[in-house]
Structure 1
Amino acid sequence: MNEPTDDAFGWSTRAPVQLLLLFFVVLAGVVLFPPVMIFGPLGFAFVFAALVFGAVRWQRWSERLFGTGLPIPGWFVAAILSSLGLFALLAYTERYTTEATPFVFLVAFCLPWVVSLTVGGRLRRLANTRVRLSIWLAIVLSALVLTGGFVFGWSVPTPYEMAVFAGFVVIAFIVVVVFPLTIVQMRGREESDHTLDDDDAPLVSVLVPAYNESNYVGDCLDSILASDYPTDRLEVIVIDDGSTDGTYAEASAYRNDRVSVFHRSNGGKHAALNLGLSCSRGDVVVAVDADSILAPSALRTAVEQLQSDPRLGAVAGTVVVNNADGIVGSVQALEYVLGINTLRRAFSYLGTVMVIPGCLGVFRREALSEVGGYDPDTVTEDFDLTVRLLKAGWRVELSEALVYTEAPFSLTDLLNQRLRWTRGNIQTLLKHRDVFSEPAYGFLHRFAFPLSALSILFVPFASIVVTTMIFVAILNGAFLGVALVAAYFLFVLLFVAAMALDLSDGDWRLLAYAPLHLVGYRQFLDVIVIRTALMLLRGTNKRWESVTRERQQSSEALAGSQRPSDD
């Protein structure tokens, strides 16, 4: 498998021009929409970006301003005072109408931080409760509600207007926040000159959990052993988690003084990884899925980055889909480029990458020991572990270390994979819901976790509403208008996808599948989220959804006599 050319750092020099062109493409929407519909969300995004970059630049000031929460009774009092003030302001400016009332109450609920700061924090002494509401989230929500009031003239919008407004908020966030964070992150990595001295290289333990991975685990081990990392500083531990096929036999063929192979009764991926962790000796622990293939430089690249900053608890590999064939494979390949790797780069600048993928995660042993390894509480143990590392104060960043993975090649397998992902993501959000109200968690509280919650929980439901309203508009005879709006948003999406592909040095043919991320695939994912949420509410769907891989279609399981007994 050929490793793509490393042109990511060169992208950071081209990106400002591309970003400027994208900005003008967005502004071209004034032909179809009122200017306030575009400039309002852009203004909100600039405020948000200023808060984020300001918090990075003036960290101490940011912690003093946003590092505390307001008790609920104090919040209630502040909301009353804020609402009275807003009603008076609108009445004085002769802009108050009955329809403005919902906006006033929304803003009043989100703006008590103003009162709190004005009175020097004395409102905190009004309550004897430990439950506090986030001042940071109040600021962001207040800015968003004020933007909506400004855009809609302080009147209640129609669902269609709300849908268009939400679309522009997403676009503005990508243009003003995500891509600028990505550019800064790439330039920061480019300027890093830390290189690994082979004589001082840390011992690396690579853990490969495997369950029914015949025809895959061998290729995975070949790629690990072909790494350019110093061979005398590398150990590989394969943990067969009760496989019923030829996984153990295939892995055992590699057993030597560098490769250990264990077999255990099936207990889940978290248990297999914890067993491997207990048997490993390295100061750096690497987790690699048995169906993944590492680029030759992946281990060295990731370990160099980990060693460059003692605050780093882990780095995530850059995942590349290696079977971008057909519609199902190609649309997922574009999803990884557009919606996963690009967003992770933005999070990486803040040290809050939310998910260390199972394909390739590189950890400092000290960090893993501090959080107690992998937990069985969720079916997305990688997401849960990452959040626990971030809550413990460790930074988590994206690495340029490439790892190749095979995406599901059928809709049934894709459905099973996403059902498990969605269920685990919701479980993890619920498990760590204290992040929403705890300012001490820094950018995890202020940026990464709320955005993850929005993308996982709110966006799918909003998308379903938007899709419904579009069909209603078409039935009401507004087909031409809907088509023009859809064409505009598609053009913006194509430009964003082109920037993401340029960043990742991806296959430009994937642009042909961008429309499916607007209509088709997007709704498929939305239905999965809603279905999973309903299953969790009913307490059903406890099973682990299995995914059949392409090379396993034609393979037969080895005879039972070839299966090992439990160690």
Structure 2
Amino acid sequence: MDILLFPLMYPLFMSIYWIVGTVYYVACYERKLKRKVDKDIGDMGISFLIPCYNEETTIKDTILNVYNLEFPNKEIIVINDGSSDHSARILEQLAQEIDFKFINLRDNKGKANALNEGINHAKFDYVMGIDADTIIDNDGPYYMIQHFKNDSQLAAVTGNPRIRNKKSLLGKIQAIEYTSMVGGIKRAQSVIGKINTISGVFTLFRKSAVEHVGKWDIDMITEDIAISWKFHLHKYTIKYEPRALCWMLVPETIGDLWKQRIRWAQGGQEVLIRDWKRGLTAINIPLFTLIIEQTLSLIWVYWIIGALCWMILHINFLDIYYLEYQFTLILLPALVLTFINVLQFTVSLLIDSRYEKLNLITFIFLSWYPVFYWLLNALVAIVALPKALRRKKGAFATWTSPERRNEE
């Protein structure tokens, strides 16, 4: 097999796997879900944990949204993680108007530490972790908590995030991504039994499961990926609930998007480095499959670099036939990959249209989006790996917040 074939065929294989998994999940499970919500929850209650760092433009709307949810048995716990803006003052003023617990941490020690502080004050058996820019659909908590009634091994139910700020081109691109990539991947992973990671922006946890695995890791840059793998290693399950919707703000500049994706890639690599030995020795086929998938994704990136370097060193610009061969070898799989990705996006958009009507103009971006997605994944993986290898165990993984423009 030519050295160029693996980097070209790997994304093609993954796209086909996601399409098949998505269609199978919808056909065998999702199409049977009822849109009418069951509000019979008995005495089950939720403690909403809202960690906050420099979110003065969004935090009030998020708290008021949760406060106004119809869900009856709830408490709101807001953790200000040493914000340097006016977040603390806004929260102090709001606490005089509505009832919620306000934990004001002096120093910024990261989202995981803030969540750990919040869960220590939670009175209910279930805790909902949401970001400070999240707006939750009224029925979302009902859909999610129903899963815990008859499944003692269920640790978390992750929801279906949607995009609030879709006016910019970057917002439209990410709206496509969350619909076609994030939702599709979670559906496909649900088929094999292991969702790679919960969505940190909107997930309902069983409090006892969080405590059993040692809570959130303060030294991991992405607390959601880290705790997901801890659940897997302790033989807990994670479910995806597509009917539980929330709306969030996404980065609107290339710089902020780049920082976000570096953090995501670094977080995934940190977990893989930490847990791969335990995962491979565990008698758990879905977890083994998940580790192989993550490892191949990393190998794919560096194979691309090696293949391009090999091609440059061995290319003979005077050999026209050789150049035509190399061009054909790259062009044909690329065209097939583009077609498969457009098919994947179209299928996912049609499926998710039952939850949110997306503007059909988004289909314009489908043809060239695969190039953007795979190229971005490759670049961030390369930059993130040295950061992941330098992780300091026990050190607080602090966070930064992107600039917010709270628009619909």
Q: TM-score, normalised by structure 2?
A: 0.85
> Is 1:430 matched up with 2:262?
no
Unaligned segments of structure 1, at least 5 residues = 1-156, 554-567
Could you tell me which amino acid in structure 2 is paired with residue 281 of structure 1?
K
Where 2:70 maps in the other structure, the secondary structure is: coil
Give the structure, 1 or 2, with the largest relative contact order (CA under 8 Å, sep 6 or more).
2
Once superposed, what is the RMSD of the aligned Cα atoms?
3.1
Structure 2 Cα separation of the partners of residues 410 and 284 of structure 1: 35
Q: 1:501 to 1:467 in 2, by over 3 A?
A: farther
Moved more, 263-272 or 516-525: 516-525
Distance 1:364 1:254 in 2: 28
> C-alpha separation between the residues in 1 aligned to 2:166 and 2:156?
28
| Map of 2:287 onto structure 1 | 444
Residue equivalent to 2:364: 512
Is the Cα–Cα contact under 8 Å of residues 8 and 334 in structure 2 kept in the other structure?
no
Where 1:432 maps in the other structure, the secondary structure is: helix
- How far 1:441 moved relative to its partner? 3.3
Aligned counterpart in structure 1 of residue 260 of structure 2, from 402, 417, 437: 417
Residues 480 and 498 of structure 1, relative CA distance in 2, 3 Å threshold = same
The match for 2:345 is 497
Cross-structure match for 1:323: 165
Gaps of 5+ in 2: none
Matched, 1:254 2:94: yes
Corresponding residue SS for 1:550: coil
Matched, 1:387 2:241: no
For the 8 Å contact 1:185–1:349, the answer to whether it is kept is: no
CA contact (8 A) 1:417 1:546 kept: no
8 Å Cα contact 1:347/1:397 also seen in 2 = no
Instruction: Quote the residue 1:406 is aligned against.
Output: 249
1:174 pairs with one of 3, 12, 18: 18
Residue 384 of structure 2 aligns with which residue? 532
For residues 262 and 336 of structure 1, the distance between their equivalents in structure 2, rounded to whole angstroms, comes to: 32
Contact 1:285 1:362 in 2 (8 A): yes
Residue in structure 1 matching 2:105, options 241, 258, 264: 264
1:497 corresponds to which letter in structure 2? F
Residue 37 of structure 2 contacts residue 139 of structure 2 at CA under 8 Å; is this kept in 1? no
1:296 equivalent to 2:144? Answer no
Q: Which residue of 2 aligns with 1:558?
A: none
**Which structure would you say has the larger Rg?**
1
How far apart are residue 370 of structure 1 and its match?
1.1
Normalization by structure 1: what TM-score? 0.63
Q: Does 1:374 align with 2:224?
A: no
Tell me which amino acid in the other structure corresponds to 1:186.
E
Specify which structure has the higher proportion of helix.
1
Q: 2:151 aligns with which of 285, 309, 328?
A: 309
SS of the aligned residue for 1:275 comes to helix
Q: CA deviation at 1:535?
A: 4.0
- Equivalenced residue count is 390
State the 1:363 CA deviation. 0.7
Match of 1:212 among 54, 76, 80: 54
Give the SS at the match of 1:286.
strand
Deviates more, 1:407-416 or 1:300-309: 300-309
CA contact (8 A) 1:182 1:346 kept: no
Which residue of 238, 243, 254 corresponds with 2:78?
A: 238
TM-fit CA distance, 1:529: 0.9
The structure-2 alpha-carbon separation of the partners of 1:333 and 1:458, relative to structure 1 and needing over 3 Å to count, comes to farther
1:450 to 1:193, Cα distance in 2 relative to 1, 3 A = farther
For residues 350 and 249 of structure 2, what CA distance do their matches in structure 1 show?
Answer: 22
**For the residues of structure 2 that align with 1:309 and 1:538, how far apart are their CA atoms?**
39
Aligned equivalents of 2:390, 2:48: Cα separation in 1: 39
Cα shift readout 1:334-367 (whole Å, capped 9, x = no counterpart): 2212221111122234442221222111011121
Give the deviation of 1:303 after TM superposition: 1.2
Give 1:463 shift.
4.6
Find the aligned partners of 2:342 and 2:265 in 1 and give their Cα distance: 26
Task: Identify if the C-alpha distance between structure 1 residues 167 and 215 changes in structure 2 by more than 3 Å, giving closer, same or farther.
Answer: closer
Letter in 2 for 1:373: K
For the residue of structure 2 that corresponds to 1:253, the secondary structure is: helix
Q: State whether structure 2 residue 3 is matched by structure 1 residue 159.
A: yes
Aligned to 1:281: 123
Return the offset for 1:319: 1.1
Report how far residue 275 of structure 1 moved.
Answer: 1.0
1:190 alignment partner in structure 2: 33
Answer whether contact 1:194 1:308 (CA < 8 A) is retained: no
Please give the secondary structure, in 2, of the residue aligned with 1:303. helix
Q: Aligned partners of 1:473, 1:185: CA distance in 2, in Å?
A: 54
What is the rounded CA distance, in whole Å, between the counterparts of 1:355 and 1:214 in structure 2?
A: 28
Residue 402 of structure 2 is matched in structure 1 by 548
**Which range is displaced more, 527-536 or 414-423?**
527-536
Distance 1:452 1:165, change over 3 A: closer
What amino acid does structure 1 have at the position aligned with 2:380?
A: I
CA distance in 1, matches of 2:387, 2:214: 30
Q: How far does residue 160 in structure 1 lie from its aligned partner after superposition?
A: 3.4
- Give me the identity figure in percent: 22
Give the distance between the partners of 1:204 and 1:483, measured in 2 at CA.
52
| Aligned-partner Cα distance in 2 for 1:348–1:376 | 27
Q: Tell me the distance in 2 between the aligned counterparts of 1:468 and 1:515.
A: 28
Maintained 8 Å contact 1:416/1:546: no
Structure 2 Cα separation of the partners of residues 264 and 539 of structure 1: 24
CA distance in 1 between partners of 2:190 and 2:39 (Å):
21
Q: Distance in 2 between matches of 1:209 and 1:552?
A: 18
Change (3 A) 1:178 1:462: farther
CA distance in 2, matches of 1:312, 1:335: 27
CA contact (8 A) 2:155 2:205 kept: yes
Question: Is contact 1:338–1:501 with CA below 8 Å preserved after alignment?
Answer: yes
Distance in 2 between residues matched to 1:502 and 1:307, nearest whole Å: 31
Structure 1 residue 202, shift from structure 2 partner:
0.9
1:204–1:285 contact (8 Å) kept in structure 2: yes
Give the secondary structure class of the aligned counterpart of 1:524: helix
The 8 Å contact of residues 299 and 401 in structure 1, kept in 2 or not, is answered as yes
State whether residues 311 and 394 of structure 1, in contact with CA within 8 Å, keep that contact through their aligned partners in structure 2.
Answer: yes
Aligned equivalents of 1:262, 1:350: Cα separation in 2? 39
